[in-house]
Amino acid sequence: HRLGQASSTFRLAVLPMTTRSKIFSTYTIFLLLPLVLVLLTGGYLSASKQTEQRQQQAQALADAVAAQALSTATAALAQNLRSLVESNQQLFAVLDEKMRAGSLSREEAQRLALDGLIAQRIAAQGTLFCLDSQGLILAHANKALTHTHLDADLLSRLRINPPGSIIWHQQGKQPTTLFSKVDFLPWNWTIVASFPLTELSHLFPPQRLAQSLPQATAHEATQPFLLDSSGTFWPPLPAPFAGADQRQLAAEIQQLASQTQGDLPALQHNDQSLNERTLFLQRVEELNLIAGIVVASSHLSQPFTQFYRNCLLIGLPTTLLMLGVVFLLAQRLSAPYARLASALTT
């Protein structure tokens, strides 16, 4: 009898603790733990989304650097072509005046005009030629094209565009070529200058194009650059990239470009100060260059850094506080059982 009474007394004594533990476990597992998991998952997904957006923005900046370099080169080329045809138009006008004054015959004036036209070259591949009103090539640096008719599509575009305009044209598998034209109305001729985009790199050195690039952002978080075929960066990369380090980085980029078809992936590299940098790249095939930006990897991963800091400084103390609240709630809910156990044992 005494043994049974002692056993009953023991069960009543531990009942409050058992009830409190059950209440505490239930609130922790079904309320607190899901809430923490939801907050952690939401924070992680938000950090991942922000990081992805920063990477996309960085790639967009690299694309913009490539576009800026190509735009600068093509704009300068267009101005050169426009100036060239206009200067020849003035030469034709001088010869026409001499013809009208009687010092030159019409045939002599036109022969001098055409000879002077085809004698001029734009770098190695650019040419000047002249058309009559029917699209017949009257003179061309490539003598095989003289007295042949210009491509009908190109001729149509030359006719509908105003004088001094720039026409982009690609015929078949030939490279895209820029054309500029002016009309010489007294003879009903058209003066045309052309230059293939594939030869742009011979006209515009990268150091000149680099002057048009945007400046590095605050604290050099992003640094735009152009990389030429010799492995030289324009402008030179900031201080953490010393000469030897720049040569190694250039070799890595060129190897990546030679092994990759299409768009270039981002490249991670540790500078001499052991800080990781991420390079976002874009080809500029017309200029035989690789454009890109150098971004501090810490800038890209900053959302995750902030997420981990929030977990440590806010999430952990808040979780401990909520555990304390749950414990006090469990103790309060189990209090009636404690009083009942105390009454039964007295």
Report the predicted TM-score, pTM, of the whole model to 2 decimal places: 0.75
Give residue-wise pLDDT tens across range 47-106: 999 999 999 999 999 999 999 999 888 888 889 899 999 999 999 999 999 999 999 999
- Give the per-residue pLDDT at 144: 92
Task: Please answer whether residues 267 and 279 qualify as being in contact, where contact means their C-beta atoms are separated by less than 8 angstroms.
Answer: yes
- Residue 196 makes CB contacts below 8 A (sequence gap 6+) with 125, 126, 174, 175, 176, 177, 178
Task: Please answer whether residues 172 and 151 qualify as being in contact, where contact means their C-beta atoms are separated by less than 8 angstroms.
Answer: no
Give residue-wise pLDDT tens across range 89-144: 999 999 999 999 999 999 999 999 999 998 888 877 789 999 999 999 999 988 89
Can you read off the two tokens belonging to residue 213?
């690039």
Looking at residue 168, its amino acid is W
pLDDT tier for residue 22 given thresholds of 50, 70 and 90: confident
- Give the per-residue pLDDT at 13: 44
How far is it, in rounded angstroms, from Cα 83 to Cα 88? 9
Task: Please answer whether residues 191 and 85 qualify as being in contact, where contact means their C-beta atoms are separated by less than 8 angstroms.
Answer: yes
